[in-house]
Structure 1
Amino acid sequence: MMSAVPQTDMPEESPLLVAIGDIHGRADLLAKLLRRLEKKLRDEPYRLVFLGDYVDRGAESREVLNMLLGLQDRYPDTVFLRGNHEQAMLDFLAAPEDTAEWLEWGGAETLMSYGIKARAAEDLVSLQEEFANVLPDSHFNFLMSLPLYEEIGPYLFVHAGIDPHRPIEEQSERDFLWIREPFLQAEEHHFSGPVIVHGHTPVKKAENLPWRINLDTGAFWSSRLTAAILDGEKRRFVTT
């Protein structure tokens, strides 16, 4: 399906990096975007980086995870980051009575993709048990394995962003998964490290700033799933 070539190292002459924004259960858009990337890049080698939020809201969360697992098998150098929605799903599996809000954030649609209808709040434990019984081990293990960030060359890939006032080793998990302010209000002089490539905060069109790139174009409601093709400092964008 794709022409990506697995790479274990990213030297100066490395292949292109292709970062993909929040998918949110839109397997149809993911398939379309991958086809467009294959056509656009033809035989150029590239490495995929997914920024998280694969599940919730859309109707095909299970299908999205199956597609990502297929990519992982074929291209083991692909980077899959954790988003706040993957974390919310795992939190529900661990403590449903404390994390019922996940169902309102799009978790009900995720359950439907696994053939489960969300029930009243008083039945959360049995709902969690049913979900745990049908969730494939491969999906659970994949979600548990997702890192919070990845730095490759001049770019730092993360789901939500970082606190610009703290070094990377002092960031909290909540920063990586949830931060909006003060990250989004920070200006270029607050950043002295790599360019931050992120999603999490929906925008109509990818934000292409010198110090950060936002690739969350609201795929669930806009039908626009966006990728950034990063060739050193050069940036191109592809969307559905």
Structure 2
Amino acid sequence: MSEPIYAIGDIHGRLDELHRVMELIEADGGPDARVVLLGDYVDRGPESAGVIDFLAEARRTGRNWVTLMGNHDRYLRNFIDARTVHDPSTRPGLYWFDPRLGGDKTMASYGVEAHERSDLAEVHAAAVEAVPDAHREFLASLPTMHVTDDLICVHAGIRPGVPLEEQDEEDLVWIRQGFLEDRTDHGRMVVHGHTALDWPTRYVNRVNLDGGAGYFRNLHAAVFEGRDAWLLSDEGRQALPYG
């Protein structure tokens, strides 16, 4: 039987929920459980800095965790590195500090005030000073995909028909159209987040674990044994609903 792999959906600054699901994982798989986090650690929730600090420290201490990059993590990275507040894959006129994206909450978690009418240079200077080097190094090192014999773990999804080694980062962190409606067998189960649902759902070729923690619903973790999957709860493993 394959070694169990645990996966966690989009966190969005919900440090309290991250601690809760990590406790569920440890109860099911022990302290050395293999965990893949699917990205979007920041924005919308109140403790983005705390989430990054927790994950960066876990990496430093050698936890058996894979932390993938989400589009919101890339927003933070790109703002610090290049003062960028708009992603080409976002609709025109929607900027990172807009509450709908939640960059204002991320900056607040670092003690920096930011809103859509802020002086960009001033906010950037304050952010560069406030965001620790360890957080910047963490963001710069996030991979976009983790592949096992049975699973393709990624933030948003993959472009059907494109070999894994040729997948584009834009698709891996942003794709919806062309992926969500596709029912192709990719040879492995795709495990992703990015598109918020009311509840994690399994489909014929993928599992979406984004249950809307960024909209103050619960964060979710699942355990995979081969392609079989269950959600974790206080009552133990539960079946994933099918969509």
Equivalent position of 1:221 in the other structure: 215
Query: Which one of the candidate residues 224, 240, 243 is aligned to 1:230?
Result: 224
Q: Does 2:73 correspond to 1:79?
A: no
Q: Does 2:29 correspond to 1:65?
A: no
Q: CA offsets per residue over residues 201-229 of structure 1, 9 Å max, x none?
A: 00111111231010000013243111110
Equivalent position of 1:16 in the other structure: 4
CA distance in 2, matches of 1:200, 1:49: 15
- Unaligned residue ranges in structure 2 (runs of 5+): 87-93, 235-243
CA distance in 2, matches of 1:156, 1:120: 36
Equivalent position of 2:178 in the other structure: 182
Shift of 1:95: 3.2
CA distance in 1, matches of 2:26, 2:65: 15
Is residue 43–residue 104 contact of structure 2 (8 Å, CA) maintained in 1?
A: yes
Query: Which one of the candidate residues 163, 166, 186 is aligned to 2:162?
Result: 166
Q: Does 2:22 correspond to 1:34?
A: yes
| Structure 2 residue identity aligned to 1:212 | R
Is residue 80–residue 128 contact of structure 2 (8 Å, CA) maintained in 1?
A: yes
RMSD: 1.9
Is residue 48–residue 79 contact of structure 1 (8 Å, CA) maintained in 2?
A: yes
Is residue 15–residue 46 contact of structure 1 (8 Å, CA) maintained in 2?
A: no
Structure 1 residues 53 and 98: CA distance shift in structure 2, 3 A: closer
More helix by percentage: 1
Shift of 1:130: 0.7
Q: Does 2:82 correspond to 1:88?
A: no
Shift of 1:97: 5.6
Equivalent position of 1:53 in the other structure: 40
| Structure 2 residue identity aligned to 1:31 | H
Say which is worse superposed, 69-78 or 220-229, in terms of deviation. 69-78
CA distance in 1, matches of 2:218, 2:10: 10
Structure 1 residues 97 and 122: CA distance shift in structure 2, 3 A: farther
Shift of 1:82: 0.3
Shift of 1:191: 2.6
CA distance in 1, matches of 2:115, 2:198: 34
TM-score normalised according to structure 1 size: 0.87
Equivalent position of 2:128 in the other structure: 132
Shift of 1:235: 1.2
CA distance in 2, matches of 1:109, 1:122: 14
| Structure 2 residue identity aligned to 1:81 | L
- Unaligned residue ranges in structure 1 (runs of 5+): 1-12
Structure 1 residues 98 and 19: CA distance shift in structure 2, 3 A: closer
Say which is worse superposed, 166-175 or 120-129, in terms of deviation. 120-129
Shift of 1:14: 5.3
Query: Which one of the candidate residues 134, 139, 142 is aligned to 1:143?
Result: 139
% same residue: 37
Equivalent position of 1:112 in the other structure: 108
Aligned residues: 225
Equivalent position of 1:10 in the other structure: none
CA distance in 2, matches of 1:134, 1:122: 17
Is residue 25–residue 33 contact of structure 2 (8 Å, CA) maintained in 1?
A: no
Shift of 1:174: 0.5
CA distance in 1, matches of 2:57, 2:233: 22
Is residue 46–residue 106 contact of structure 2 (8 Å, CA) maintained in 1?
A: yes
